[in-house]
Amino acid sequence: MPFDWLRAGPPLAEWWDLRDLGNAVGGLLGWIDDRGGPSWLPYVVSGLIGIVGILLWSVFSQLFFVWAERRLVARIQVRLGPNRAGPLGLLQPVADALKVLTKEMITPRNADRLLFWASPILVMVPALVVFAVLPFGERMVLADLNVGVLFVIAIGSINTIVVFMAGWSSSNKFSLLGAMRTVAMLISYELVQVLALLAVVVFTNSMRMGAIVGWQDDFNTWIVFVQPLALLAYIFAGAVEINRTPTDIAEAESEIVAGYHTEYGGIRWGMFQLAEYVAGFAIAAIVVTMYLGGWTLWGLEEWVPGWLIFLGKLYGFFFVFIWMRGTLPRLRVDQLMGFAWKYLLPLLLVNVLLAGLEVLIWQENGFAAEAVLPAFAVANWALAVVLVVGWGQVLGHLRPEHRAKRPVLVKEVGAILYEPYPLRPGGSVPEA
């Protein structure tokens, strides 16, 4: 019988027990079975409920978060943010949505019709499909695949193709430049994501999202305590994947106007914006599930509904992206590439090696989890700091002359103070 796991688990709580919406769906399936519906009907029904639920939730929370982001970034920038449309500017996203819907959708003359039409639709696919695997509550997950983590990475890699299609098909120099930059960047950071998530799977030795949350619940240690480096790397790689500062290379406004979605107007451009936010939620949801204990909060999930905790953590974490957007300047493309290949990858390889060693020690001698995990936590945090600073020194990122030097204050006029660099027109500082 399909979806028997909905019926398995603790004795099915009443359907109105909203702490886990899975109960309600389970109750509905039971009702359908009693009515003797065809065998495939419950399968279709629960699938549809899941899909509609994810769609509605993501679109409406995107609307809310457009407003929240603009208010928060405004607060960071000592200004008010939208407060004209509706009370406290709450209707601003609705106004934006209407504006985007009514704007005309222009197609450039020698655009590549098929790809130009397809890419705004396809840009939503990776952002939404990732949610199928993420558990909002104990039984609130659309498809708890036992290759969950790999599924998340695979869907993320489709994003690369769609970005290229958008840039290539709008046949404009700036879009192509933006698209090629983004594709190269997404590929190098896909590897960083794989290694960051691998470190988690090494500990929970299962790729099923439910099992990962279960592991964090049983040992009630969040994986962020045991793997801080992996979380930092994943946050940065996540910021790269959804093109947010400090890595919004794709639509680097100050450089190549708006990157790969320059030529899109109207709702097509709206789809790109919607996809960016929904992908942001997806990254935040993955981080919360993998590193911050998913929908469990050390037992609180008995009273407070699991999905409320999950959403609270998700929005709380999404604030980090908003905060980064409000403060950090943008990195250049080659600096980003160098950072991924030369700095992050070796670090993460070492991190996965250490995680493997630790789990080996733990499993071989069969230590008690309460003793071993705190020890690992302390060791890993210390190691993380040592690795980050040490590797930074080795690569010369933190070399003294790279640090800012204050100007020299002079009283009288006419003194030439410094011996000029070898006269290379416009070259950058020769790598010492």
336: closest CA among 231, 229, 243?
243
Judge whether 291 and 222 are in contact, CB under 8 Å: yes
Nearer to other proteins, 94 or 154 (CB): 154
> Does the protein bind other proteins through residue 347 (CB under 8 A)?
no
- Interface residue with other proteins among 29, 123, 165, 292 (CB under 8 A) is 165
Nearer to other proteins, 7 or 330 (CB): 330
In sequence order, the 6+-apart residues with CB closer than 8 A to the CB of 285 are 130, 131, 134, 310, 314
246: closest CA among 231, 235, 256?
235
- Interface residue with other proteins among 53, 330, 350, 377 (CB under 8 A) is 330
The C-alpha atoms of residue 233 and residue 432 are separated, in whole angstroms, by: 28
Judge whether 289 and 234 are in contact, CB under 8 Å: no
- Interface residue with other proteins among 116, 168, 260, 321 (CB under 8 A) is 168
Least distance in Å: CB of 225 to other proteins?
Answer: 26
The C-alpha atoms of residue 306 and residue 363 are separated, in whole angstroms, by: 30
Nearer to other proteins, 29 or 115 (CB): 115
Stretch that binds other proteins, among 247-255, 287-295, 365-373, 380-388 (CB under 8 A): 247-255
> Which value, to the nearest 10 degrees, does the dihedral of the CA atoms of residues 228, 234, 240, 244 take?
-60
Nearer to other proteins, 368 or 403 (CB): 403
> Does the protein bind other proteins through residue 432 (CB under 8 A)?
no
Angle at Cα 346 formed by Cα 343 and Cα 352, nearest 5°? 130
Residues 255-294, interacting with other proteins (CB under 8 A): 255-257
Nearer to other proteins, 99 or 332 (CB): 332
Provide φ and ψ at 431, rounded to 5°. Answer: -60, 115
- Interface residue with other proteins among 174, 215, 236, 362 (CB under 8 A) is 174
Per-residue contact flags (x/-) with other proteins for residues 113 to 152, judged by CB under 8 A = -xx--x--------------------------xxx--xx-
SS3 1: coil
> Does the protein bind other proteins through residue 299 (CB under 8 A)?
no
Nearer to other proteins, 92 or 169 (CB): 169
The C-alpha atoms of residue 137 and residue 145 are separated, in whole angstroms, by: 15
The C-alpha atoms of residue 426 and residue 281 are separated, in whole angstroms, by: 42
DSSP-derived secondary structure for 280-301: HHHHHHHHHHHHS-TT--TTGG
Stretch that binds other proteins, among 22-30, 90-98, 240-248, 261-269 (CB under 8 A): 240-248
The C-alpha atoms of residue 106 and residue 266 are separated, in whole angstroms, by: 8
> Does the protein bind other proteins through residue 173 (CB under 8 A)?
yes
In sequence order, the 6+-apart residues with CB closer than 8 A to the CB of 112 are 168, 169, 171
The C-alpha atoms of residue 235 and residue 46 are separated, in whole angstroms, by: 32
- Interface residue with other proteins among 39, 102, 110, 365 (CB under 8 A) is 39
Size of the site for other proteins (CB under 8 A): 82
Least distance in Å: CB of 252 to other proteins?
Answer: 7
Nearer to other proteins, 17 or 255 (CB): 255
- Interface residue with other proteins among 21, 54, 207, 311 (CB under 8 A) is 207
- Interface residue with other proteins among 68, 72, 158, 377 (CB under 8 A) is 158
> Does the protein bind other proteins through residue 254 (CB under 8 A)?
yes
